[in-house]
Chains A and B, each alone.
Chain A
């Protein structure tokens, strides 16, 4: 008799979701799905508003990466105005962007995935969290918290608030940086770098310890999409879009990001509010057009890193490739994230040394000169698209947002299936499996708050369905009884 297992809510991810696993008559995993259960409708209610409000409106899509939305939105605004922003404004935007990547990656590693990686996939669920980590490894927890805080503080120094700063605007940024603020950042940077290096070492340790996981958590061929700098280097703020296949072949050349709609389509499924972006030329059927974005994709598409420490780490990371293609396992997202964290801190250091960082000309003024604006940045979780169309009065009459996490939707579904198949034997459900399946999702550090078409936080619930669709067993993780005792 077949069953469906439902895991809800998926926890320690940034959004609302469920996982269902379908078993066949033989009790083997037949299918698994990742459902995003929240819907918010930004693309509709933004219509009629001014694009100048959009950085702040779209920040409210996500409290974890508001800066990415603000920057993508401000860049779309730059295009609507048709201006080149002052060089210092771009430097400051980059500074805030790197700071956000630092805080977000630190959050993912120390507070969301860290409890699994550092305390164990099957450790006590009641302690497998931030507070448990504080108890078990207080010094490490403190360092992690301080690293995330460093990123948040830099954002606040620039934009006056750590979450939802109203600072990036079309034409540049609102305030220049002062010398004392720069000096504060510089003084704290060495500690941040030290913590990042420590995290990297812990990450390699975890990879060795968890080699079985690394081999089956989302390990499959797919395409990868990310920004690269004009000469192909690792890039997060601006550049060209590069799409490679599982062998590393560059499929679209390095294209201007504003051309994205020519090759990225969005499919839909009745069982998730989150859309399913895919590579148009390969279609949406059978995962043929599936691509991954985010830290793993960025390292895979980049020809080089460009900062000394990250370059070394990138070379080391490349060794996880088999046969010279891109690294294919989603478990390696964790390590890619840590390498990128190091990279961002190095870039922050370079910016602080820039003699023009404190210049006061940080905003270009212009009226609205274009009707279509497209802004693209690499959010912590992957490439983020904002596209705005304006009416005669400069108000929005069409908005399209393609959010990083959505683009991993196909891959997240496939990952869940792969983990379930690997670990689920004899339809015995236990806490460890539950957490492994959830962790498959955590690898992507999904930001479901971000997927405007859908969104939410992910509680995890596991349901087992019979072939005729009847609910056989529902497992919800509660703090008390062990899951396998409830039959």
Chain B
């Protein structure tokens, strides 16, 4: 059987879901034969590869780079999974939605010397912020959800085991709470 081509991605979030993924610990070694990690913050691929079997996406869609990457991931992945509360609900990342982007940048910058990142130069290098942080399923079709902030390793393993056996992700009632 060919190895499952797994990609992970980190959009607007804290990386806690990826840390929880690493908390699989030695189970990672056990499943490393069955899967290939083809993209993500833990590996060096700079471009999202073609023909990914499963993409675990942490974080919400917060800027245009997130948006483009997510669309690319959708086009190139068989299954796209919202991984953790930020991806599913916006969670803490979306608390900035209370304010306009302009108000936020004004509040955070222009406090010290130098030029705040709001100029033409910024536009060329820095991705523009979306007016509102969005959960993934409001941007692309999502195939499964793993809630939690972060989802604990047991939830992640339950989902991965199902995927490795070619089944759909069905978490139990206890394993699908937010928070």
- In the complex, what residues of A have CB within 8 A of residue B20's CB? 63, 162-163
A266 and B108 form a contact (CB under 8 A):
no
A275 and B37 form a contact (CB under 8 A):
no
User: Can you sample 9 A-B contacts with CB below 8 Å?
Assistant: A9-B46, A11-B42, A16-B10, A35-B126, A62-B15, A125-B44, A265-B113, A269-B117, A270-B115
- CB interface residues, B 100-132, toward A, < 8 Å: 103-105, 107-119, 121-122, 125-127, 129
Measured as residues with beta carbon below 8 angstroms from the partner, the interface class of chain A is: 35 or more
- In the complex, what residues of B have CB within 8 A of residue A268's CB? 109-117
- In the complex, what residues of B have CB within 8 A of residue A20's CB? 125
B96 to chain A minimum Cβ distance, whole angstroms, is 4
A63 and B116 form a contact (CB under 8 A):
no
A149 and B116 form a contact (CB under 8 A):
no
**C-beta contact mask, A34-67 vs B, less than 8 Å → 1, else 0?**
0101111101110000000000010111111010
- CB interface residues, A 1-19, toward B, < 8 Å: 8-9, 11-16, 18
Question: Is the CB of B99 closer than 8 A to any CB of chain A?
Answer: yes
Question: Is the CB of B146 closer than 8 A to any CB of chain A?
Answer: no
How far does the alpha carbon of A15 sit from the alpha carbon of B129 in the complex, in Å?
16
- CB-based nearest A residue for B6: A131
Select one of A141, A271, A275 contacting B126, CB under 8 A. Answer: A271
Stretch of A329-337, A342-350, A474-482 at the chain-chain interface: A474-482
A108 to chain B minimum Cβ distance, whole angstroms, is 12
A63 and B14 form a contact (CB under 8 A):
yes
- In the complex, what residues of A have CB within 8 A of residue B114's CB? 267-270, 276, 284
- CB interface residues, B 6-20, toward A, < 8 Å: 10, 12-20
A149 and B108 form a contact (CB under 8 A):
no
Q: A14-B15, A145-B28 in contact; A457/B10 too (CB < 8 A)?
A: yes
- CB-based nearest A residue for B133: A40
A129 and B37 form a contact (CB under 8 A):
yes
B43 and A44 form a contact (CB under 8 A):
no
Question: Is the CB of A196 closer than 8 A to any CB of chain B?
Answer: no
- In the complex, what residues of A have CB within 8 A of residue B26's CB? 142, 145-146, 149
- In the complex, what residues of A have CB within 8 A of residue B98's CB? 45
- CB interface residues, B 38-88, toward A, < 8 Å: 38, 41-47, 49, 62-63, 65
Chain B: how many interface residues by the 8 Å CB criterion? 64
Which of B49, B121, B150 has the most A CB atoms < 10 Å from its CB?
B150
Select one of B25, B28, B93, B126 contacting A272, CB under 8 A. Answer: B126
Select one of A11, A15, A270 contacting B116, CB under 8 A. Answer: A270
How far does the alpha carbon of A39 sit from the alpha carbon of B13 in the complex, in Å?
10
**C-beta contact mask, A86-120 vs B, less than 8 Å → 1, else 0?**
00000000000000000000010001100000000
A479 and B47 form a contact (CB under 8 A):
yes
B96 and A45 form a contact (CB under 8 A):
yes
Excluding A15-B15, A37-B65, 11 further A-B contacts by CB distance (< 8 Å) are A63-B13, A63-B14, A63-B19, A63-B20, A146-B26, A149-B25, A268-B109, A268-B111, A268-B116, A270-B122, A477-B45
Question: Is the CB of A138 closer than 8 A to any CB of chain B?
Answer: yes
- CB-based nearest B residue for A266: B112
A44 and B107 form a contact (CB under 8 A):
yes
A460 and B46 form a contact (CB under 8 A):
yes
A287 to chain B minimum Cβ distance, whole angstroms, is 13
Q: A44-B99, A45-B96 in contact; A131/B46 too (CB < 8 A)?
A: no
B99 and A63 form a contact (CB under 8 A):
no
A131 and B112 form a contact (CB under 8 A):
no
- In the complex, what residues of A have CB within 8 A of residue B91's CB? 60
Select one of A39, A41, A161, A457 contacting B15, CB under 8 A. Answer: A457
Q: A44-B107, A131-B32 in contact; A62/B115 too (CB < 8 A)?
A: no
**C-beta contact mask, B24-37 vs A, less than 8 Å → 1, else 0?**
01101100100011
- CB-based nearest A residue for B48: A478
- In the complex, what residues of A have CB within 8 A of residue B19's CB? 63-64, 162-163
Question: Is the CB of A459 closer than 8 A to any CB of chain B?
Answer: yes
